[in-house]
Amino acid sequence: MSLRNMGIGLRASLSFAVLAGLLVLVGLFGLGQMAKLRESATIIEDSWMPSIETIHDSAAYIASIRLEAMRLLTTNDLVVRDKTKSMITHEQTQLQNSFSQYETLVSNELDAEMLKHLKSTVSVYMSIMGQMIQLVDQDQQQLAIELLNSRLAPQGLILNKSLEDLIEFNQKGVQSAAESAAQMYSSAQWVVGIIIVIALIATLLLAWLLTRSITTPIGQALTVARTTAAGDLSKHIVVSTLLVISIVVTSFVNRQKVKKNESAVEATIVDNKKEAPNVVKSKSVFEVADSMCQEAGVPFELVKEIGNNESGWRYITNTNGGSDHGDLQVIEATFWYWYKKLDLEGGKTRRNYLKVGIYYLKSLHNKYGSWRKTRFAYGRGHWRGPETWTALEKKFMGKIDYSKYDN
C-alpha cells in the first residue's frame, strides 16, 4: 500500500509514529546505558573503595603495632611497658576487626585467597612478636633484639608485600571499573549519535514523502483541470482520493471559467476497487464532433474552425452577452427547437449542444447551398451580401477559407 492510497491523516500519523518510535528507542537506550554506568559506579563505591580503605586501616594498625614493639625494646620503665603491651593488644584487636570487615567486601576468589595469605602472614608476625614480648618481660633484652633482627624484621617484609599486593589488587579493580564505564560511555555516545543521524534522515525523508504525496496529486489535478478546460477529454486519469478532492477544489475555484463541463462524451467510470485504482476513460470532443459531422454530412474541419472562432472549443456560456451556449455557441431558442426535432434527451448537455449546432449548420446549408453563406447565417440568423457586412462580420468571415468546402 503506497502513501498516495492512504488518507492524509493516516500518512501524518504514520510519519509521527516512526519519529516517536525513534525517540523512544533513543530514550530506552540512553536509560539502559545510564543504568550500566550507575552499576559501575556502585561497584566502585560499595566494593573497591571500601576495600582499599579497610586495607589502609589494616596497614596503619600493623604500623602502630611495630612502633609499640620498638618502644617496648627501648624502655625499662614497667609502667611504659604495661601501657605499650596494652596498646599492642588493642591494635591487634582492631586489626582483626578490619580483616572481618574486609571479608564482607571480597569481590572474587583471588581476593579471598590474597586475604587468607595476609591473615596467615600477620598471624606468624604476631606469634614472633609475642615471643619477643615474653623475652622483654624476662628482662632478656638482648635476646629480644636478636629475635627482632633475625625473625620479626624479615617477617615484616613479607607482611608488607602481602599488604601491597592486596592494595594493588583493589586499585586495579577500581581502574578496571572506571575504564569499563568510560568505554561504555564512549560506545553510548556513538550509538546515540548514529540513532540521531538516522532519526534526522528519517525525518527529512518522511517530510519529503509526505509533501510529495500531497503536492503531486494536486499538480495532477491542475493539469487535468487545464486539459479539460481546453477541451481535451482524451487523457486517462488515475483517480485517487486526494486527486478527486483536488479536482473538486480546482473546479470550484475555476467555475467561472469552466461552467457545467458536462462531458460531450460518454464517460465510463470503471469501479475496480478490488483490482486497481479507479480509471476514467473518455473520448475527445473532436472525436464526438467528427462522428456527428459524418452522420449529418457536415465537413468536420469547417465545424472545427467554427468552434475555434466561437469558443476556442471550450464549453462556455454567453461569450457575446447573449444566450449562446456550448462549443458552437448555440442560442437557447435554436437549441430547444432542434432538441425537440432531433428527439434528444438529457437536457442542456455538451453533447446535445454540439449535435444541435451541427444539424443547424446542415439545415442552413440545405437552405443556402453554400458553406460560406451557411457560416454567415449561423452567426447572424440569415444571409446578407458582403456589401452590408460590418467590420466585425468581415473579420469573423475572413478567418475561414471557404473554397476548401464549397466546390
Contact status, residue 284 vs residue 234, Cβ threshold 8 Å = yes
What span, in angstroms and rounded, lies between the C-alpha atoms of 352 and 323?
16
Strand partners, 238: 279
Structural domains present in the chain: 3-205 (1.20.120.30), 213-281 (no CATH), 285-404 (1.10.530.10)
Residue 1 confidence (pLDDT):
52
Q: Which has more pLDDT, 247 or 42?
A: 42
What span, in angstroms and rounded, lies between the C-alpha atoms of 247 and 229?
12
Residue 240 confidence (pLDDT):
52
* E strand or H helix that includes residue 279: strand 279-281
In one letter, which amino acid is 347? G
pLDDT in tens, 101-157: 888 888 888 888 988 998 999 999 999 989 988 998 888 888 988 998 899 889 889
Q: What's the rounded mean pLDDT across residues 70-76?
A: 84
What span, in angstroms and rounded, lies between the C-alpha atoms of 92 and 68?
11
- DSSP notation for 227-273: HHHTT-----EE--HHHHHHHHHHHHHTTTTS-----SS--EEE--T
pTM of this prediction? 0.41
Using 50, 70 and 90 to split pLDDT, how confident is the model at 360?
very high
Instruction: Return left, alpha or beta for 262; rule: phi > 0 is left, psi -120 to 50 is alpha, else beta.
Output: beta
pLDDT in tens, 264-285: 333 332 333 333 332 223 458 8
